[in-house]
Amino acid sequence: MADHVDLPRPPRAEGAHHLLASARHSLGGLRRLSRETAFRHELIAGAAGLALLLTARAGLAEILGAVILFLLLLAAEALNTAIEVVVDHLAPGWAEFARDAKDLGSLAVLCLIGANLAFLGYALAT
């Protein structure tokens, strides 16, 4: 729980400032996500999958499909990490709801890993 610090809420940005603030928040999320081993493994696997598709001279549709599925995987990993951060704050000890929340987030990631692998296998086989 050492990561939690109460800070004053910043004023709400509007217009172009809102877009810049959103970009800053997204980059902050990416920095936080980059500390996760699973995210780094997924990046390596995604790069390897893309290299396989390029080596196999896959078509644009297959490459685009793989990139979209990979981005969905990264989005699920980000949401899973967000769930874990909130749950760890709410239940620093063991709690059934915490286990269930983490397991469900993990399942979402696993489903997208399976979808990525299935699509990669299909794209390489055709």
Q: Which of 14, 42, 62, 77 is catalytic?
A: 77
Is the CB of residue 50 less than 8 Å from the CB of residue 66?
A: yes
Distances in Å between the alpha carbon of 4 and those of 7, 9, 32, 77, 122? Answer: 9, 14, 14, 21, 44
Enumerate residues 6+ apart whose C-beta is below 8 A from 34: 40
Is residue 77 annotated as a catalytic residue, yes or no?
yes
Closest CA to 101 of 117, 85, 123, 119: 85
Catalytic residue list: 77
